[in-house]
Structure 1
């Protein structure tokens, strides 16, 4: 197979030391000073102030996305790290400016209310008014912004750097990074999967104190800041940031808990098909059925474009453009972070996608997932920066919807044995997004509870992780993953706690939307694009109601589980070969 390409960031900036990059840094400083002066005048035009703030947000987004993209593909590159720190320095300007912008809005609350509910900014401005009520004093907010760089943000970077660079000896003195070892979880040879898993645990144990210090640092800072700002709990703030409410989250979690036996039954059948009494954690991604099919990167491109185009010509063209213009970085390599993500560039009106492509169907599906994010970005980036920031649950909806397009397309072309392999791949992902996410939700709740009392040791974190996994996977596994807390970067996000339930939300919401798309495909395309376009402007509940969905009603979430259940039943009818 051909070597994998790397993404092209030069249309964003020619380089991290280029005049264009440095000019944008200076632009933010200049425009911020100008806006500061306007905010001091309570009679200045409010809409002009909003648009000036959005311009700053867009350019900061461009710079931040660019340096994040650089560092995540080469976490030890000194030039990239310098550029990253230059942009981080701008937070000392932007965060106090954001505080003053919210204070300015508070002084003009009556004027904001007079703009009316039909104003496209109505919901977002009301959210900012609530957030400003949770601000500390200006002095403390500035101090927190300054302190972040060398404390909780630094801990987050430490986890990212360690997770992408530490390695274990494999054979003949050759080294494999943790990312490379994780990618071996899909190998058809159980001995290789087991060896890779054990090597990964060995190297994570060596560095467990560093990971534990990082997690304690991030979670401790989160608890302190939330308390100072008057948030009830990290989960309460997460609910606010997600633009949902506790009733929606309760309905979702209750549905996931009720579905635990369904996922365990799938895992028991998978063990049978693999000739095992029980699965180990390293068997979760083992191929079942006709698993020898490998996808070249070119195969992945053709497949994704074809099936995106079947749903929507515009979506197909969007994906084709992303491949042709090298928006995607699929090559696993030393120094590159694991996993996958999409990142947007608001000024350039483009996105980039990082993945670690492994030539499997799962690798194809991952790229489709991230292209779903990018397509979503393309819809909201036509609006101002304040209206383009959609919440995490809706972010995952778009990506999982696109996974569904690929999955259904693959099933159409599959013979009986390939079909079982594809259904297994779908159920693997569904198990991760529902069952494993539930374990992560339990774990993070316990972390916050324990962290209030003091530092948590690596051993205690392992025990907590195992408890959460046993609570969800139960007897379906006989070997668990005690260091999952060390490898999941989601736990190390100081700005967003409980970066877990949005995935389950997206999975089940996306499955519900997929069912509606089958009823009237041509009409749904327009509705779908409109839903994405307004996703940064409304509460999640209101977005759902526009599609005729009440997200507080458990019966809707159960519809998504029923889709999964149909595939579980088909999978359970398969015979071992």
Structure 2
């Protein structure tokens, strides 16, 4: 009997009954109770032998709390209007804040250890597994405020710093854009309206929707400016108290990468920007436009009429994953056939896609809305890449599972490349090939153009914010200057309110949350190039890189597994080539059309 692939995930196999689950409620109650025990125990510890057992308890707690948070995100994603799930998420946020306070106590404990006690701690086999993590935290202690002040900042952040992010999400959730669709007026969320503005085949619809978005954003801009100013101001105040002059310090540490490496990467990107202009000029010509508007830049100039069924999508992904390694292919089969993926196209779901990891159950869950496009197939591959990364790391200590965003995107981008490049190579006609090439180009430009520009915007924003809050007009002018710098005179209408709708600017957990995606994307391109070069010899090496992604800096991973020095520009220039080559192919194939 043939196996059936469902478009709905199975959450009951994790916590039967969802928000009403007795197992889920027991998890929450247990976490609350266990935290009190951990907080009391840490006050009495000071010897390395006692610490090993305590660290094991902390890691078990972190895994349980992480699973709770990820599961609640899954519940929210399938029904964004459920207030009971929102309440549970609030409880999870409090638990996460308690963990951060516990980690601060743990840092103080590490700082108190004598040299001999520290060396003794590192002799334990269990500790050697997460030595990198402990050394990293111990080193950072010298840059922080006294423990009592750090804990106070963390406590005040719940209703201050984090509260502003929550308020931003509420404001975004309440934002409605009136759009005319099929002759009827319809209220859309900002995400839905942006997609409609970008991907409608009728340019007049795109233009009208885009201008409506601008009008609505203009009316709300002052409120959003207040929120952004408070988030940035809070972060700058904390940096000032710690004596940090460099606003990039925290972001570089969180992403385990040197600032010099990132600046080298950004420099390589800027030096290759002209090819982007060539693509956009040709795109405008193909679309019979004198100039592009911001709402045209992501609109495909070529579309395929071919629709892919969900079962066909599964077959494509599984086949291409098996071509890389049987281990990866078998993993994809497990995800499809055991109900790990929520893909049904229906109302009430959250916009976008993600991969959630359940470390206690050692399973992942993937969320997206499948509409039959090849981009959806690529999205499935992307999220399965994340899930495979989770799978490779699932037996590692919880401390080493805390990886940076800069390497978290590695496996997902790698999986994308496996599927998309195969599709381009085997396209049945020129129209389909151009459609797939453009998909690859637009995905690449997101990381090679848009994200680096937003990184530069944030740096300038922080420098200006040091001198006081910025008005909505000042933020909009800064954003408009950045987009004009990217596109030159190729684009004649710009979205100067883009700063309002990029949630990464409002994230409080991570500073400069955009640029790690570019690091991960280009780092993965370098890995993918090596995989094609080495063939069957590479999969085992790839798995080892993923397994150790929580034990090394990005530079160390590159040196160990790629034999590359990524402080040098050569690596980044090579990693830019796949998008550049795709643009050149696009230009060659469309030459006869203009």
Q: TM-score range by the shorter chain?
A: over 0.9
Using structure 1 for the length normalisation, give the TM-score: 0.93
1:243 Cα offset (Å): 0.4
Instruction: Report the equivalent of 1:353.
Output: 366
Q: Secondary structure at the match of 1:291?
A: coil
Matched, 1:53 2:58: yes
Matching of residues 124-143 of structure 1 within 5 Å: 124-143=133-152
Aligned to 2:377: 364
Equivalent pair of 1:161/1:337 in contact (CA under 8 Å): no
Answer whether contact 1:187 1:287 (CA < 8 A) is retained.
no
Q: Is the 8 A contact 2:451 2:514 kept in 1?
A: yes
**Given the alignment, which residue of 480, 488, 498 partners 1:466?**
480
> Structure 2 vs 1, CA of residues 155 and 332 (structure 1 numbering), >3 Å: closer, same or farther?
farther
545-554 vs 506-515, greater mean Cα deviation: 506-515
Q: Does structure 1 residue 576 correspond to structure 2 residue 590?
A: no
> What's 2:69 paired with?
64
Counterpart secondary structure, 2:366: strand
Residue 537 of structure 1: how far off its partner (Å): 1.0
Q: In the alignment, which residue of structure 2 is the partner of 1:204?
A: 217
Q: Mean alpha-carbon deviation: is it higher for 376-385 or for 355-364?
A: 355-364
Structure 1 counterpart SS, 2:364? strand
Residue number among 19, 26, 50 corresponding to 1:23 in the alignment: 26
2:193 is matched with: 181
Matched, 1:42 2:38: no
- Measured against aligned partners, the alpha-carbon deviations of 1:76-100 in whole angstroms (never above 9, x if no partner) come to 4210111011112224532221111
**For the Cα contact (< 8 Å) 2:321–2:418, is it kept in 1?**
yes
Distance of aligned partners of 1:160 and 1:359 in 2 relative to their CA distance in 1, 3 Å threshold: farther
The offset of 1:135, in angstroms, is 3.4
> Does the residue aligned with 1:170 lie in a helix, a strand or coil?
strand
Where in structure 2 are the equivalents of 1:231-310 lying within 5 Å?
231-310=244-323
| Deviation of the 1:248 alpha carbon | 0.9
Change (3 A) 1:182 1:354: farther
Q: What SS class does the counterpart of residue 175 from structure 1 fall into? A: strand
- Please provide the CA RMSD for this pair: 2.4
Residues 163 and 337 of structure 1 are in contact (CA less than 8 Å); yes or no, is this contact kept in structure 2?
no
* Corresponding residue number in structure 1 for 2:90: 85
Q: 5+ unaligned residues in a row in structure 1: which ranges? A: none
Checking the alignment, whether the CA contact within 8 Å between 1:165 and 1:334 is kept in structure 2 is no
User: How far has the Cα of 1:433 moved from its partner?
Assistant: 0.8
Q: Which residue of 2 aligns with 1:8?
A: 10
Q: 1:492 to 1:333 in 2, by over 3 A?
A: farther
- Structure 2: distance between partners of 1:546 and 1:458: 46
**TM-score when normalising by structure 2:** 0.91
User: 1:186, 1:173 → 2: CA distance?
Assistant: 18
How far did residue 116 of structure 1 move? Answer: 6.6
Q: How do 1:382-421 and structure 2 match up within 5 A? A: 382-414=395-427, 415-421=429-435
Q: What runs of 5+ residues in structure 2 fail to find an aligned partner? A: none
Change (3 A) 1:433 1:86: same
Q: Tell me what 1:161 maps to.
A: 170
Distance in 2 (alpha carbons) for counterparts of 1:359 and 1:457? 43
Of residues 112, 123, 147, the one that matches 2:118 is 112
Residues 483 and 121 from structure 1, CA distance in 2 versus in 1: closer, same or farther, beyond 3 angstroms? Answer: same
Aligned residues: 575
* Worse-superposed segment, 181-190 or 288-297: 288-297
The 3 A distance-change label for structure 1 pair 108 and 161 is: same
Match of 2:36 in 1: 33
* CA deviation string 1:463-500 (max 9, x = no partner): 11111111222222112222221221111111111112
Question: Could you tell me how far apart the structure 2 residues matched to 1:329 and 1:160 are?
Answer: 23
